[in-house]
Structure 1
Amino acid sequence: MTISAVLFDVDGVLLDSAAVHRRAWNSWSLARGLDPEKLWQLTFGRRPEDTVKDAAGHLDPVVERQVLDGLLAQERDSVLPVDGAADLLKELSDSPWAIVTSGDRAFVESRFAAAGLPLPAVRVYGSDVEHAKPAPDCFALAASRLGVAASACLVVEDAPAGISAAVAAGCTVIGVTTTHQEESLRQAHMCAASLTEVRNLLITHGLLART
């Protein structure tokens, strides 16, 4: 197996944003008479508007996405980098890598700037594709922009929907157990409990030098 590039999901992988997203979704769902617990399970790795379509088909997903973005914007300062993210991305500065997220461009880029995380040249957001995760389009697009085959990409994902998308695109996938138990990430080719373990796997695949 030859790996040429790394594709990172953002929330739950590089940014510790679960608590912020949970508060936003709880507030939104309670205001609309929906069960917050059931709805929360539909959110991981997916565009908010796609979750709205599934959970509340009677609502306008475009309008509700704007409401959710507003709720998230109120808590931007509560989002921190995942432990080890800054060092790992710094080590990857000479290797091809990208972020592939269902998140909002403005939210992600402002959080990266605030956290001091570098942004790669290739960034794919949910708005960049017609069919977002769990469809494979976002990972195929990132690989194309990097100029490598999807089969030569190693994806780091924390959510089942993202893992399904990456596997469908033909990528090799590391599932990180930051938001889900390992048994929920069975489609991944391997699992890691932290970015330290991810770093060790990248060394194994020759994308990082041993120190």
Structure 2
Amino acid sequence: MLFDVDGTLIDAVDNQRRVWATWAGRYGVDADEVHRVALRTRPWETFARVVPDQDPQECLAALHALEDEDVRSGVYGAFDGASELLGALPSGAWALVTSNYEHRVRGRFARTGLPVPEIIVDAAAVEEGKPSPVPYLRAAERLGARPEDCLVVEDAPSGVEAGLRAGMTVWGVNSATAVDGVHRHFTSLREAVPDILAFARRGGPSGPQG
């Protein structure tokens, strides 16, 4: 079982919006536009779009400082069902695959009381992030699992694309409409919990997807 973090297990939408709004204020650009771009692109691409005249390294350092402060002081919540789901999975059977950094993930999990798995594949662990399949393939390798036996649980198009390109089963959660390409769609994580646990018990996909 391979899980995305933000938007899948932890509700960080408001936190991300506040971080980007503060960042945008420092650079004198429109916060709403920055957030719209940031939702679709990685930080380097966001900087190139919204502040092309600024040093991207300085932009990234400012963003990281704001994100670290948010982990220390922000209010976070786990999606309904996350604690039950992760607590029911054997420790060596699941991993987190995130575009964020491990220290922030651990901080957020500590704030929400979620269990932390043995394996976290973060932005520092791979040279290519989502939508590249590399993060999910790295997680499967570290778990000793074949890609075709893995279930990816995601909320975002880039993560869904990454899981599909890795040759894995991909289920989407926490959205009113299905992300293109998902094998199954659930409007909430809570709705998906029984089926995710059933997938784990089977040890892989079984029956028709859709």
Give TM-score, length-normalised by structure 2: 0.85
Deviant stretches of 4+, over 4 Å? none
Residue among 174, 189, 192 paired with 1:198: 192
How many residues in Structure 1 have an aligned counterpart in Structure 2?
200
For the pair 1:19 / 2:29, whether they are aligned, the reply is no
Q: What is residue 89 of structure 1 aligned with on the other side?
A: 86
Residue 110 (structure 1) aligns with = 107
Unpaired stretches in structure 1, ≥5 consecutive residues: 1-5
How much does 1:147 deviate? 0.8
Which one of the candidate residues 154, 166, 174 is aligned to 2:163?
A: 166
Paired residue secondary structure (1:123): strand
Counterpart of 2:63 (choices 52, 65, 68) is 68
Q: Which residue of 2 aligns with 1:3?
A: none
Match of 1:207?
201
- In the other structure, the counterpart of 1:137 is 134
Gaps of 5+ in 2: 203-210
Using the TM superposition, name which of 162-171 and 42-51 deviates more: 42-51
Identity of aligned residues (%): 35
Matched position secondary structure for 2:131? coil
8 Å Cα contact 2:76/2:108 also seen in 1: yes
**Aligned residues: CA RMSD:** 2.1
TM-score, normalization: structure 1?
A: 0.85
Q: What is the CA-CA distance between 1:34 and the residue it aligns to?
A: 3.1
1:95–1:207 Cα contact (<8 Å) kept = no
Q: How far did residue 181 of structure 1 move?
A: 3.9
Q: Secondary structure at the match of 1:69?
A: helix
Change (3 A) 1:140 1:19: same
Task: Rate the CA distance shift 1:69–1:189 in 2: closer, same or farther, 3 A.
Answer: same
3-state SS in 2 of match to 1:78: coil
Q: Flag the 1:94–1:126 CA change in 2: closer, same or farther, 3 A.
A: closer
